[in-house]
Structure 1
Amino acid sequence: MSPDRRLLFVHAHPDDETLFTGGTIARYTADPDTEVTVVTCTLGEEGEVIPPELAELAPDRGDQLGGYRIRELDAALDALGGPRHRYLGGAGRWRDSGMVLTGHGTRAGLPPELPARALAGPEGFGVQLAQLLDIIDEVRPQVLVSYASDGTYGHPDHIRAHELTAAAAAARPDVVAKLYYAVRSTELQDAGLAELHEALDGDTGRTGLRWPEPDEHPGHDPAEVTTRVDVEKFHDERIAAMRAHATQIDVRSGSGWTAYAMSNRIAQPLLGTEEFVLEGAAPGTVETDLFEGVETP
């Protein structure tokens, strides 16, 4: 029998589930009354590769990264407790659209040319929505989670995942009670960097990573955050999941501190809280549980 509470995450690429919502996935997967399902829309074929020994997987070389990231995702989900998993339309149906960096820091935009089968391609939306609705009809989640409308940092696949999830929630109001957008506020990021700086005794070079410049990591308006989930106790699970995504995430740690970076080598702190914005929330909404107010059988 299906658990009373059902939660579905819609992510663009392998590793996004860990970076944005890994602690929340682990927390609810550990709850026997909650069924957690993760949807991954692409194989992340256009990602950059961090370890030199895996460089031939890259899209401009062997173009085998997508297949390798299936293995990474399997290991990461196992580390997070083993939630259920689906690829949108099946593994490899939609390809990573890629991105170009625009403006300051890590902000991204749509590349001038899209690969064949790109998730963000204008012709695919209707088919993709039908595929996501098929999963929702099967899982029947009361709660959906994806990204905010800006895709957190502008990646076109994150924006498409947001659009699909919002449209799916609107199409199934009898199933979906709550729609959340995973965000990271400037306030939380700044506090995390300050704590990491203190743990390093001010010697940021100990991380082996580049310390971020002001406003280099896009952050969400803290006033819009409605829901903060405490994931501190799932620190080890999140670290293991990040390490599983070795082509994409570089994890560094020492006595009393942990930092990580993507291929840009810009240090980020591992935060003990994950933040969300509840779609349509009343002003002043403050939550600590994604299922707050959800009626279950």
Structure 2
Amino acid sequence: MTDAAQQRLLLVHAHPDDESIGTGATMAKYVSMGRGVTLVTCTAGEMGEVLVPELAYLAADQEDRLGEHRRGEIADAMKVLGVTDHRWLGGFGTYRDSGMQWHDEGYAIPADDTHHNAFWNADLGKAADDLVQIIREVKPQVVVTYNPFGGYGHPDHIQAHRVSMLGTALARVAAHRRDLGEAWDVSKLYWTALSQTSIQRAIDTLQAGGEDPGFLSMILMMASPDEDLAARVDAREMTEKKLDALRAYPTQVAADGPFFQRSDALGDGGWGEEYYTLAHGTRGPVGDDGLEADLFAGLV
């Protein structure tokens, strides 16, 4: 295995707070191990709901200054996780949060109207090349992004998936845009995932105690069958850091919300175990659970 200091992970997320929700424990663990961690955020989350009443004026339908505020929130979250290399795809403000609406069946779909600069409307080739440039500079062995459904259907998550898939493919082609740097072949590409079994177990625990699983029922819709999982990063020692990173997003994550209330129902793993599906590359050695314990497993 390559020395930890030479191992580099690059994560592509849609909005500020997505990285902490889905991969915060993994990021904090790898930073603590001395591995390189680079976060690429595609939009500033301009269309997000503002949960702090006194900051309601920042909303898109008022002064439209939420993106700049969330820029500060993600900076605070990265300090908590220890991540020092954070980039905005194409530069801050290049792509705008597309917004979304809820389908009757409980998943996200594009909004009826989107801003002309919305990430959902971006030229896929241009956005992919913005990522190619970062990949060729950082030279990560491992890239993490969303699955084709974006987890729950959000158009920006789906677009982040498309950009990541195309960007990693183009980055390895020497003849493609030599001006963006020397070709780099990412060894492994993962999609973030949730364990169907773990979420169902938490729901069963709550229901057995007479509690409404609420939020976890929606999460179950996003979960993957366990046979589709390839890796489980056990970063339970980083759970509090992950939750502290989420607390850095008061406009988006309620302090008394389900992320904090449902930690106990998820059992020993809580929010500190994060799962991944392998989309590209060769699976490395696995443990007794049939999963890799390390996203760099098998790389030399």
Q: Same fold (TM over 0.5)?
A: yes
- Residue 29 of structure 1 corresponds to 31
Give the aligned partner of residue 171 of structure 1: 170
What are the Cα deviations for residues 71-106 of structure 1, in whole angstroms up to 9, with x where unaligned?
Answer: 10000111111241000011111000111101333x
Is there any run of 5+ residues in structure 1 with no aligned partner, and where?
262-266
SS in 2 for 1:246: coil
Cα distance change on mapping 1:268 and 1:67 into 2, 3 Å: farther
1:272 has 2:272 as partner: yes
Secondary structure of 1:37's match? strand
Counterpart of 1:202, as a letter, is G
> Which runs of at least 4 in structure 1 moved beyond 6 Å after TM superposition?
281-285
What is the deviation of 1:24? 0.5
How many Å separate the matches in 2 of 1:216 and 1:130? 32
Instruction: Check the 8 A contact 1:95/1:119 in 2, yes or no.
Output: yes
Q: 1:113 to 1:260 in 2, by over 3 A?
A: farther
Within 2, Cα distance between the matches of 1:53 and 1:152? 31
Q: Distance in 2 between matches of 1:158 and 1:15?
A: 13
**Distance in 2 separating the partners of 1:290 and 1:28:** 10
Aligned length: 277
Contact 2:13 2:157 (C-alpha < 8 Å) held by counterparts? yes
* In the alignment, structure 1 residue 289 sits paired with structure 2 residue 299: no
Distance in 2 of aligned mates of 1:268 and 1:162: 30
The offset of 1:229, in angstroms, is 0.6
Aligned partner letter, 2:193: V
- C-alpha spacing 1:278/1:77, structure 2 compared with 1 (3 Å): same
Q: Greater strand share, 1 or 2?
A: 1
Q: Is contact 2:110-2:154 (8 Å) kept?
A: yes
Matched, 1:7 2:9: yes
Secondary structure of the residue aligned to 2:255 is: strand
Deviations along 1:197-224, one digit per CA (max 9) or x if unpaired, are 39xx93748xxxx834845642222220
Q: Is the 8 A contact 1:128 1:164 kept in 2?
A: yes
> What secondary structure does 2:242 align onto?
helix
Q: Residue 211 of structure 1 aligns to which amino acid in structure 2?
A: G
Separation of aligned partners in 1, 2:260 and 2:209: 14
Q: Identify the residue that residue 156 of structure 2 maps to in structure 1.
A: 157
Paired with 2:188 and 2:219, the residues of 1 have a C-alpha distance of: 31
State yes or no: 1:180 paired with 2:181.
Answer: no
Is 184-193 or 130-139 further displaced after alignment? 184-193
Residue 238 of structure 2: which of 219, 234, 238 is its match?
A: 234
Is 1:92–2:93 an aligned residue pair? Answer: yes
Contact 2:50–2:251 (Cα < 8 Å) also in 1: yes
Q: Which range moves more in the overlay, 211-220 or 96-105?
A: 211-220
Closer, same or farther in 2 for the Cα pair 1:151/1:268, shift >3 Å?
farther
Cα RMSD for the two superposed structures: 2.8
Partner SS state of residue 188, structure 1: helix
Aligned counterpart, 1:140: 139
The TM-score, its normalising length taken from structure 1, stands at 0.85
1:23-71, CA deviations, whole angstroms, 9 ceiling, x for partnerless residues? 0010111112x11000000000001111222211111112111010001
Aligned partners of 2:215, 2:91: CA distance in 1, in Å? 37
Provide the identity percentage: 36
Q: Check conservation: 1:251, 1:259, Cα contact below 8 A.
A: no
1:172-214 deviation line (CA, Å, top 9, x unaligned)? 344300000001132222233455x39xx93748xxxx83484
Q: Secondary structure, in 3 states, of the residue corresponding to 2:298?
A: coil
Matched with 1:71 is 72
Structure with higher helix content: 2
In the aligned structure 1, how far is the partner of 2:99 from the partner of 2:265?
A: 22
Q: Which aligned pairs between 1:89-128 and structure 2 lie closer than 5 A? A: 89-105=90-106, 107-121=107-121, 123-128=122-127
Matched, 1:81 2:73: no
Query: How much does 1:240 deviate?
Result: 0.8
CA distance, structure 2, for counterparts of residue 115 and residue 102 of structure 1: 20
